[in-house]
Amino acid sequence: MKAVQAVEVEKKYDVGDDAVVPQLQHLPGVARVGEAHTAELEAVYFDTAQRTLQSRRITLRRRTGGTDAGWHLKLPAEAAAAEETSPRVPAAQGAVPGGTDPAASEPPRRRELHAPLGQPDVVPDSLLAYVQAFVRGNPLVPVVRLKTERTTYPLYGPDGVHLADLADDRVDAQPLGGGTSSGGKHWREWELELVHGPASLFEPAGQVLAAAGARPAGHASKLAKALGAGGTSKVSGSGTGGALLAGKNAPAAAVVTVFLAGQLKQLLDRDAGVRLEEPEAIHDMRSAARRMRSALAAYRKLYRAVPVRRLRDELSWLGGVLGAPRDAEVLRSRLLGQIDELPPGEGAEAARDFLDRRAGATFDAGYRLLQEALVSERYFRLLDSLEDFRDTPPVRGTAVEPGRRAVAKAVDKSAKRIRRSHKAASHARRGTERETALHQVRKDAKRLRHVAESAAAVSGKRARKVAKAAHRQQKILGDYHDAVIARDLLAGLGSEAPAAATEAITALLARQHELMSAAEHKYRKARRKSRDLLRGGVL
């Protein structure tokens, strides 16, 4: 069962045991305060022994009592934009993004995912998929039990809209297991959480709450309060290292590290989508792996050779296991779309059924291998290595070279590489030799695109133009390569295909030759158009 998603926007306040909940009906936009209701909640929080989730500001709990009993997973603000969600705060009413500091002027946003209660110690697969890339094979165990007496005061607008809830929580926390020496804790806090109201409600509400003795909470979550600083793992967070950049004068290693960090974040963000078979997740994750591999190849001289070589090899492996189901998915979509262009009839339907089954079986086989890879020690070691590289880059002395100069040399070298492959393709004989040569151009165009993208942070407009030109050639030759793969598949079917589908498959085969010829023409035109740009460098 798929997890139910929402975006949580709230602020927490520390408050004394004797504080009195203030009158909130006079707040701007609030017409009345609904009847208060009290519930007894009990939540068990799960994490690894190393407190991996806590270190990444992720909370996972199973809660009973109240109106939302079940398993809850909360992801930090930067993950909220990773996928489409069902926000509790409509954008038109002023939902705003925020940081993770509870005392910040903007309210933090967290993505919430819910699943049914299920078994007490068995994390639902629909939630487990979102944390696998972070816990990396380490078991999730109960770490804290919280018992909360919650009194909720609903706030309504003049039109009856449920704007927000003020929760008055009295919390008892008891650590579980042997991972911490601290005893139980008791505290009281107020939470103001938007339901359908605007974020502008927070400022006047904060003033009223402060007058009643509240102060911005010193913790981001009840779990953090319960465990304290001592429960925090040393596992690195998910920052992209943007602070390393200092405009166009940034050192070379900083430019490359920031680019790699952004792609690593993309890979981690899409990990859950791949596990849950979400559309385009494989493509996005594969693209991130390819970009990192291209950058490591282009800038390898900035770093020590051994760690770079290992990362490139492992990213190549990951790209391969991602590529098998993705290529089958693309081929299936391509062929079925072309069948729709054929005259309707029994032959077309027979071809559709046969090719759908054939490509579907290939996709399923590739996806099974991919799912096995994503829970393997090899994959988890790769993620560890990428984060280590991001946080402590193994730089050489040349890494202090100005970033603009380093990226310009890398782009120029990649452009020279594609010029050589262009020349080889123009002299290649028709047939397999030409197809292989054009495939090499495509790969070199992809690498040039990725390297130019990494240069955009310090080289700006010209680097983006180079990336765009390379992307166009990559896309055209990608269509050419897809047609070659489809042609080889169709030509090799022989007697496998049903007799009724023969005519349609023959038509599809002829269509691949037409598409290959058209792609070659587009490629020559794109090549001429970008010739001067790819000669000129990025500075």
184 plus 257 within the same structural domain: no
Reference 358, options 381, 339, 384; nearest CA is: 339
CA distance 16 to 87: 32
Nearest Cα neighbor of 472 from 446, 491, 447, 498 is: 446
Residue 470 covered by a domain: yes
Helix/strand/coil for 187:
strand
Based on the fold, state whether residues 384 and 278 are members of the same structural domain: yes
Give the integer Cα–Cα distance in Å for 407 and 451: 8
In a domain, 82, yes or no: yes
Tell me if 265 sits within 8 A of 286, measured CB to CB: no
The pLDDT assigned to 455 comes to: 84
> What gap in Å lies between CA 355 and CA 504, rounded to an integer?
11
* Rounded alpha-carbon distances, angstroms, from residue 331 to 115, 282, 335, 357, 361: 35, 14, 6, 12, 12
For the chain (539 residues), the mean pLDDT of every run of 10, in chain order, is 81 95 91 95 95 93 93 77 38 33 58 93 94 96 96 95 96 79 82 94 94 91 79 45 52 87 95 93 96 93 94 97 94 94 88 93 95 97 97 81 82 91 94 95 94 82 88 95 95 88 93 96 91 63
430 in the same domain as 316: yes
User: What is the Cα–Cα distance from 418 to 406, expressed in whole angstroms?
Assistant: 19
Closest CA to 301 of 170, 399, 438: 399
Flag whether 291 is in a domain: yes
Tell which of 205, 231, 257 closes a domain. 231
Dihedral angle, C-alpha 381, 383, 384, 386, nearest 10 °: 120
Separation of alpha carbons 524 and 426, rounded Å:
9
Q: Of the residues 204, 231, 258, which one is the last residue of a structural domain?
A: 231
- The answer to whether residues 409 and 435 belong to one domain is yes
Residue 155 covered by a domain:
yes
268 lies in the same domain as 168: no
| Residues linked to residue 41 through DSSP beta bridges, in sequence order | 148
Residue 357's alpha-carbon distances to 23, 352, 386, 510, in angstroms, are 65, 8, 38, 22
One domain, residues 225 and 269? no
Does 272 reside within a domain? yes
Give me the domain span that covers residue 168: 4-231
284 and 218, same domain (yes or no): no
Q: What angle do CA 39, 96, 211 make, to 5 degrees?
A: 55
Q: Are residues 391 and 338 in the same domain?
A: yes
Residue 237 resides in a domain: no
Of 207, 231, 255, the residue that ends a domain is 231
pLDDT attached to residue 536: 58
Are 290 and 168 members of one domain? Answer: no
How far does the chain reach from its first CA to its final CA, in angstroms? 52
CA dihedral 41, 44, 47, 53 (to 10 degrees): 0
Whose tokens are 């054009």? That residue is 438
pLDDT score recorded for residue 346: 79
Residue 76, in any domain of the structure = yes
Assigned domain for 236 exists: no
422 in the same domain as 352: yes
Q: Which CATH number is 254's domain given?
A: 1.40.20.10
Contact 190, 3 (CB under 8 A): no
Q: What is the DSSP letter of 304?
A: -
pLDDT, residue 232, reads: 47
Question: Strand, helix or coil at 50?
Answer: coil
Q: Are residues 192 and 217 both part of a single domain?
A: yes
Q: How many domains does the chain have?
A: 2
CA angle centred on 196, ends 191 and 197, rounded to 5°:
70
CA 251 to chain centre: 27
Q: Report pLDDT for 530.
A: 85
| 436 and 380 part of one domain | yes
- Looking up residue 185, the CATH number of its domain turns out to be 2.40.320.10
